[in-house]
Amino acid sequence: MMAKWAHRTHFIVCILSLILFFLVACASPYRASENYHDPDVDFALLRTIAVMPFSNLTNDKLAGERVRNTFMNSLLSTGALYVIPAGEVARGISRAGIDNPWTPSGEEVSKLAAIVGADSVITGVVNEYGEVRSGAVTSNVISVSMQMIEKESRKVIWSASTTKGGISVWDRLFGGGGEPMEDVTQAAVDDIIKKLFY
Amino acid sequence: MTLSKNFSIRTAVLFFTILFCFSSAAAQNDAGTDAVGDPRIGGPEQLKIAVFPVFNLSGSPAPLAAISRLLAEELTDADATFIAGEDLDRVIEKYRIRYLGGLDGSTAQSVRQETGADGVLITSLELYDETTPPKIALTARLVSTTDSMEILWIDGIGLAGDDAPGLLALGLVRDPRKLTGRAVQHLALSLTNFLSGEGRRIDSRAPREKFSPEILYHRAVLAADKTQTVAVVPFFNPSARSFAGEILALHFIRELWAHENFRVIEPGVVRQQLLKSRIIMDSGISLAQADLIAHYLHVDFILNGKVIDYQDYRGDRGTAKVNFSAELFDSVSREVVWSVKSYHAGDEGIFFFDWGRVNTAHALAADMVQLAVKMIE
């Protein structure tokens, strides 16, 4: 009777160890936060923002323009900030003589902000935009990173990145091509705005 | 017995004759009252309208002369005198009128002086595709030649041969001429109704709510008791479609014009001012440019935007797509007071047999813009 009990206990211990082993294997590696807020800055004081043209590292020529357009409209629609219209930013870039508006220097940011009346300037990079393929399955993916530079201190006061879309288990099992690109873009923009405010 | 029966029939006929005469007289009186109330429509003296040749915004070759001719034929029943063909060509040549997609002050004056026209009918061809099933999109507007250069009427239509294929595709239109005829007929009927005073201010059906804008920023802009003037500047167009900026501006003009609180400046006048002020838009309108436009055109608002996609497709495989953003600048506060972003595809929410599918970017954009403008209130 005792031998049978001991045998059962050993069996349970083995099963629990196995479960623990798999659980440990499932743990994701440490990942640095995709969001940075300067602790010394009171973001509530920022009222007017200029969004620079986004740097486009993808094959789609319009990717930067598409993401920037969605981002500017979404940010304005929050009602928390006033976003300077793209045409006015273009005039500011021209007047400030910024040769490379995708990666402006601190001095250029300060100059531009003074011309267009912005408290800070947002720059961005579109790292990935478009279709990804894995075997016979395709889906849409976007990867964007942004940073906010303050006018006076010329320091980066906020930085965030996000990746949305890609091939899900559902896509692998049933196909379907994933979400439309505009929906994926909107999801990414919503995520990055959430990171700005929270 | 027979005598009394004959007498009663005779009395009845006499009674009906008198009744008919009275009702005809009453109807004529009604028409007369309408004409006095609104001099723009169906007056005792017929309006004289110059019909400009069709202006091509489709970016591809199209039988413009044939469409112009068809439009002139369809307008024969309208309550107006139309000036077209050689009479108008002479004026166009004499005054070297090069731009026929709009009406500016000097052109209006020349046309009025030479032909005595009270208005000019400007028709823009947005899409013409003869591939089966064919597709066509047209927008037409009637602009007064007086100093105010009011837009009196505007309407548009986008048709595809497979809009209503029906059972066993019996309703499929394969002949582009037939489809063109339908589109022109629709516009002619709408204008005829307007001129006779029977038509509504705008003959647009209820939009499909699924094409509502995705992002909206809105501040209270409209004064309910005041008519405010708005200038629609051609949209910045980074899309692959030629003239998409002008086409989308026309959609907005149509919907804003339908709004009772807005007076929309004729796009030809806006274009003339942009040229005069040497305004070249780089990714949108700047505040300095907005100030210039507001100053010269005396407008309360300036509408501008960006067209990211305005996509039609050839043949029967593909999807119409429209993606745009629009901003309304207040000329006093110099700020954006309304902003919208909308992107949709014609096959959204379609599950069975393509039922409810929108086949042209024009029809899709018309719904999207109508829903967007509704939100200005």
Domains of chain B: 47-196 (3.40.50.10610), 209-374 (3.40.50.10610)
The phi, psi pair for B7, rounded to 5°, reads -65, -45
Chain A environment of B287 (Cβ under 8 Å): 85, 88, 91
Q: Under an 8 Å CB criterion, which residues of B touch A?
A: 214-217, 236, 238-239, 281-289, 304, 306, 308, 323, 325, 327, 329, 335-336, 339-341, 343, 345
pLDDT of residue B208: 85
Helices A63-77 and A86-96 meet at what angle, rounded to 10? Answer: 120
Residues 6 or more apart in contact with residue B346 via CB below 8 angstroms: B319, B320, B321, B357, B358, B359, B360, B361, B363, B364
**A180 chain-B contacts, CB cut-off 8 A:** 345
Which chain B residue has the Cα nearest residue A93? B282
B285 contacts A77? CB cut-off 8 A: no
Query: What does B19-42 look like in DSSP terms, one character per residue?
Result: HHHHHHHHHHHHHHHHHHH-TTSS
CA quadruple B331, B274, B372, B214: dihedral, nearest 10 = -100
Q: How far is B210 from chain A (nearest CA, A)?
A: 15
The model's pTM is: 0.84
* % residues pLDDT > 90 (chain A): 67
Which of B281, B308, B325 lies at the smallest CB-CB distance from A87?
B281
Give B303 to chain A, closest Cα distance, Å: 12
Mean pLDDT of A94-109: 93
Q: Do A85 and B238 touch (CB under 8 A)?
A: no
Question: Tell me: the pLDDT tens digits for A13-58?
Answer: 878 888 877 766 655 544 556 789 999 999 999 999 999 999 999 9
Please give the ipTM for the structure prediction: 0.79
**pLDDT given for residue B168 in this prediction:** 81
- The interface residues of chain A toward chain B in range 72-101, judged by CB-CB distance below 8 A, are 72-74, 76-77, 79, 82-83, 85-91, 94
CA distance A60 to chain B (A): 12
Find chain B residues with C-beta within 8 A of A72's C-beta: 325
Q: Is A33-197 in CATH node 3.40.630.30?
A: no
Per-domain residue ranges for chain A?
33-197
Average pLDDT, consecutive stretches of 10 residues, N- to C-terminus, chain B (377 residues):
51 52 39 35 69 94 94 88 89 92 93 93 96 95 93 94 86 93 94 79 72 86 80 94 95 92 94 90 86 93 95 92 94 92 91 86 95 88
